[in-house]
Amino acid sequence: MTVKQPQQRYEIGMAGLGVMGRNLVRRALKVVRKGGRVVCAGVHMSDSPSFPYRLLWEERQRVSVANLTRQDGIDFSHLAPEIGIVTKTTRYPLNRANRSFADLRAGRFEGAAVLVP
């Protein structure tokens, strides 16, 4: 996943901390406006990366949540192209699910694995 610098600042940024989210928190904090919040969520969460404290200045917050609602996902999917998020996916047939996990652990793809029937 890549994030382009947006033209405006946003109140809330969302960052999935999976394998691709290692630098996403830092990037999200850079584009969130004063008093904004970066919400970290994901099915697979990696360790939170370190980032310079200056990214929290101006009352920014970094929070994590266990669950997001379906509407949160829908709202974010509409916002994502507007703020320059480009996703990358690798498709695997359902019968190759174990291979997708092995490739994920080994870092053999960038983005998200998608299982298809």
For residues 95 and 80, state if they share a domain.
Answer: no
Same-domain check for residues 57 and 112: no
What gap in Å lies between CA 110 and CA 1, rounded to an integer? 8
Same-domain pairing of 59 and 100: no
Please check whether residues 37 and 60 belong to one and the same domain: yes
Q: pLDDT tens digits for 45-101?
A: 566 667 888 888 888 888 777 677 778 778 888 888 887 877 888 999 999 999 998
Distance CA 87, CA 3 (A): 9
Model confidence pLDDT, tens digit, residues 2-43: 445 555 555 555 544 444 455 777 888 888 888 888 877 665
Q: Are residues 47 and 103 in the same domain?
A: no
Q: 62 and 14, same structural domain? A: yes
Residues 41 and 69 in one domain: yes
Residue span of the structural domain in which 98 resides: 88-117
Whether 61 and 26 map to the same domain: the answer is yes
Q: What is the rounded CA–CA span in Å between residue 48 and residue 102?
A: 22
Q: Which of 12, 6, 19, 26 has its CA nearest to residue 72? A: 12
pTM above 0.75, yes or no: no
**8 with 58, same domain?**
yes
What total of structural domains would you count in the chain? 2
Q: Which two tokens stand for residue 29?
A: 């904090």
